[in-house]
Structure 1
Amino acid sequence: MNEQDLRPWLIRMSQGEEEALHVVFEATRAHTYRMVYFLAANKQDTDDIVSEVYMELIRCMSKYNQEQPFMPWFNGIIVRQVRNWKRRIWRSLRLMERVKSAEQLVASPYMEDPFDGIHGGQELLPLVNHLSQKLREVIVLRYYQDYTLEAIAQLLNIPLGTVKSRHRLALEKLRHHVSHTMKERGESTYVH
């Protein structure tokens, strides 16, 4: 199916029609699979990435400008999803390594604030899991997914001020927990 034939289905899909999604999927599936297969570092991930591509297509369809060619726009989604997958795999490997070493965490004598590590990528997943769901969402989206506070507000459909408040409260709770844990271990939390 060429792009002209696909255009009415794209319009119907942007309006939420399920049949249109199936038609667009069938028309683009082989192309998507080939492109993901060639871009993916681990070929076993191809099917999962293809699923992510179509989930992102559904999410982004309302942003598609019907006056522009569809395939270049769609290829951009494919490339971004392959990159996101690679980044997610890399982060999960890094997270596993840091969670293993978190048990052996010793405060650096050069670190004035024991929580400064989160800004440098220090993974604090075990501590984050103790936060309430609302606070955890903000921390995970901000530090594990690299979303801006503005993007988090949009994603969670809440005011930016609420995101900032939750972010500040979550950081305070995490700092308090780190400080408390270090005191229990008899470690200094400040440079002397």
Structure 2
Amino acid sequence: MKNMDWSSLLIRMSKGDEEAFRTVYEETRDHAYRLIYYLSSSKEDVGDIMSEVYIELLRSADKYRPEQPFFAWFNGLIVRQVRNWKRRNWRLYRIVEKVKLLADHSFDRKAEAKLSAVGDQIELLPILRKLPLKAREVIVLRYYQDCSLEEISTLLDIPLGTVKSRHHHALKQLRRQFEEIHGGKEKKDYVY
């Protein structure tokens, strides 16, 4: 890498200078790509994580301190974004598993296998977007931000009982929407 004045570039970036961002991007993209490629568990995610890294770089540019080596700081930023990506994927998996658990437990193994197979492929974001905002807030804070129900109560400035109620109803709505995706076929497999 060229001997860059990273501090001034990042200061300019934090003030909205697009040319400074372009320069930083051009000088760091190959490095960032390689590091993300080696750290991520899914090579298909590298492009998305790369975008997250540069979004976070824009947000964090004013936090860089000139006394620290730029690439050490930038590597830390990359590692955190890869971890965040993995954590988000894990939360998505947990939500799917929670929806499965809340599904009627009285169905047979054939229906369970179908539910499991579909659950592995489900795209939850469109389903989450169908939830009312108050329910979506609780689900996102609980499973994407890993907040406890007590923390959600504090964040939203609502009673803990209200959080628990919204959480319960949101999971029921997710389960209902999950079942609707699969139509009547799977419902025939349920044993009532």
Match of 1:88 in 2: 88
Asked if 2 retains the 8 angstrom alpha-carbon contact of 1:135 and 1:166, the reply is: no
Q: Cα RMSD between the aligned structures? A: 3.6
- Alpha-carbon displacement from aligned partner over 1:133-180 (angstroms, at most 9, x marks no partner): 25632542244322579x98xxxxxxx96633276633244457889x
Match of 2:14 in 1: 14
1:164 to 149, 154, 157: 157
Distance in 2, matches of 1:92 and 1:176, equals 18
Q: How does 1:123-142 map to 2 (within 5 A)?
A: 132-134=132-134, 136-142=136-142
Q: How does 1:1-192 map to 2 (within 5 A)?
A: 1-2=1-2, 4-104=4-104, 132-134=132-134, 136-147=136-147, 163-165=156-158, 169-174=162-167
**Long gaps (5+) in structure 2:** 107-124, 173-192
Q: 1:13 to 1:141 in 2, by over 3 A?
A: same
Instruction: Identify, as 1 or 2, the structure richer in helix.
Output: 2
Distance in 2, matches of 1:177 and 1:168, equals 14
- Alpha-carbon displacement from aligned partner over 1:36-93 (angstroms, at most 9, x marks no partner): 0111111121111111111111122222223332211111111111111122222223
Match of 1:184 in 2: none
**What is the identity percentage for the equivalent residue pairs of Structure 1 and Structure 2?**
50
Q: 1:164 to 1:130 in 2, by over 3 A?
A: farther
Letter in structure 2 aligned against 1:102: L
- Cα displacement (A) at 1:30: 0.4
**Long gaps (5+) in structure 1:** 107-124, 153-159, 180-192
Distance in 2, matches of 1:177 and 1:46, equals 32
Higher relative contact order (CA 8 A, sep 6+): 2
Distance in 1, matches of 2:22 and 2:130, equals 41
